[in-house]
Structure 1
């Protein structure tokens, strides 16, 4: 975790307007029907679905947003809007984010993976127990990979967009289920200063814009995503999951073991601008017959910047063609 740039960013935006006293309700992140998943393992999880009036025979597609201080299914909105014309499509708000439960509990890769597995099980129940396709952004690629390794029969094809675990010179093959969490950092951040100080600065509108510009590698961000990010970080309980994220509790120390174990066709794509451009470790997987790669001249969210080329490449991959 790069704490110095984070703290500098907070200082740079400290003069921005504070949080509102009246918090508007959070609307749905995508235009679809709402589904509630609930189990003792994951709590209450929101998922959204759309099924075309004239299905084209495509497999259902599950879309999984990234994890950050302002994560939500809005991040996959362009993909949801594109896919719903031709296939059943589902988007999940992961535990601790969006319209899902945001209680004070441990947010771990296990919790997130269980949510992905619960979503996959519900989708398969609705569609004749077929294997589904799935796409995940950034850190959530690790959760999807773990789910696909644990239940390979549930997943047909996997799309990983700007995934974590591809930077650095050394693969991470830690103990199964281990994380990169820093206990001292979690203890430091979990005292009251997180509420009133660090988290408040981290989620000011100006700070959110700053980080989106770093993600885009440009000041030309998606304004709808920014507005939704501002609103979702103001909801009750919004601080809890990001606290575990900043403490690295959600990063898997065995991530490359997970990627090594994937047997499904995998499409990995990424951009070339902004803070998320170190993908040197793609070389470890370039020779594997089930892996393919695409680089877009964008930041880390190509679905917003180049929606048509990105969706065309995704469609080709899901159809079994070269993306």
Structure 2
């Protein structure tokens, strides 16, 4: 009798969990375009990869690659996209498994994304300037070893996000019902706001309701948990020494860091800049996303190079705060 009640209770719990999962899925609407511009589709290895482009097609190409997280998408570039399009032909894809791109239940890997970036840059752009953040910075660096690029501008790039690779965790998050329920907890609006405040934004006032809503929507599209499951379990980290890779790139490299970045502290950025012989631009009052928290300054001082000293040393830290940039070696 007790066993029968236990089995009935487990069955009821699973049924309730499945019902909640279905309800949350029904609340998510079709995802709106992440950016203003022409929406297109790039067909890649069975994926329909969504992208936004804007600007004069005859202008120099600039490709924006968003960071990887449970609710990642090219919406990350909403504050700088229009300004970039004033002088570039800007193309911003949603990586496979994210945003408006296809999200099949594959076992996603770092090598898949490095290959995607390499193919996208070679087929969709002509020797572009590349703007990439976080883990996508590593994918762009790997791709730039074989694809001609004009410059890499990498925002808090890293090739190491999770310690080790945990098959059990990836399997758990991919599991039906239970895995979906766990992912729904990780990507609840409360969790999204918490993670943004904890290691995404310096100023919590920048975490708007509209931002949280879009990130919630993208994290609750069909198949949304499969790529993040591989990310959370450590399988999206490319097995490379990022400093060594960047030192082999035959194009200028600019690293951009938030002084208050916690998951990838500035000290690591300084070491990476030295290893890669790269320029390092540091934004005060910024965490992992200085281009999001200080979009106007980012475009003016990093992309356009305004108000910066004319002579550059091999390794230089440019501290960006307020309206002016100061320099120290």
Provide TM-score, normalisation by structure 1: 0.79
Secondary structure of the equivalent of 1:78?
Answer: coil
- 1:19-30 matches, within 5 Å, as 19=24, 21-30=26-35
Secondary structure of the equivalent of 1:136?
Answer: strand
Q: Contact conserved, 1:166 with 1:279, CA < 8 A, in 2?
A: no
Q: C-alpha separation between the residues in 2 aligned to 1:82 and 1:290?
A: 29
1:185 aligns with 2:169: yes
Q: Contact conserved, 1:162 with 1:276, CA < 8 A, in 2?
A: no
Aligned length: 285
Q: C-alpha separation between the residues in 2 aligned to 1:317 and 1:158?
A: 14
Secondary structure of the equivalent of 1:254?
Answer: coil
1:217 aligns with 2:202: yes
Match of 1:35 in 2: 40
Match of 2:117 in 1: 116
Match of 2:153 in 1: 159
Secondary structure of the equivalent of 1:140?
Answer: helix
Q: Deviations over 1:271-291 (max 9, x none)?
A: 123533513233434446851
Secondary structure of the equivalent of 2:24?
Answer: coil
Match of 2:228 in 1: 242
Q: Contact conserved, 1:208 with 1:230, CA < 8 A, in 2?
A: yes
Q: Contact conserved, 2:63 with 2:91, CA < 8 A, in 1?
A: yes
Q: Contact conserved, 1:45 with 1:115, CA < 8 A, in 2?
A: no
* CA spacing shift, 1:39–1:96, aligned 2, 3 Å: same
Deviation at 1:189, TM superposition (A): 3.5
Match of 2:218 in 1: 232
Counterpart pick for 1:253 among 239, 246, 249: 239
* CA spacing shift, 1:251–1:289, aligned 2, 3 Å: closer
Match of 2:299 in 1: 311
Counterpart pick for 2:141 among 140, 145, 162: 145
Deviation at 1:193, TM superposition (A): 5.6
* CA spacing shift, 1:261–1:183, aligned 2, 3 Å: farther
List alignment gaps of at least 5 residues for structure 2.
1-22, 313-317, 319-329
Counterpart pick for 1:270 among 243, 257, 264: 257
Deviation at 1:316, TM superposition (A): 3.4
Counterpart pick for 1:205 among 186, 189, 196: 189
Deviation at 1:92, TM superposition (A): 0.7
Structure 1 range deviating more: 234-243 or 253-262: 253-262
1:134 aligns with 2:130: yes
Match of 1:51 in 2: 55
After superposition, the CA RMSD in angstroms is: 2.8
List alignment gaps of at least 5 residues for structure 1.
1-17, 125-129, 168-178
Secondary structure of the equivalent of 2:288?
Answer: coil
* CA spacing shift, 1:21–1:165, aligned 2, 3 Å: closer
* CA spacing shift, 1:288–1:29, aligned 2, 3 Å: same
Q: C-alpha separation between the residues in 2 aligned to 1:110 and 1:38?
A: 18
Q: Contact conserved, 1:60 with 1:123, CA < 8 A, in 2?
A: no
Q: Deviations over 1:155-199 (max 9, x none)?
A: 1100001111489xxxxxxxxxxx953223323433336534320
Q: Contact conserved, 2:246 with 2:276, CA < 8 A, in 1?
A: no
Q: Contact conserved, 1:45 with 1:95, CA < 8 A, in 2?
A: yes
Q: Contact conserved, 1:263 with 1:290, CA < 8 A, in 2?
A: no
Q: C-alpha separation between the residues in 1 aligned to 2:150 and 2:49?
A: 23
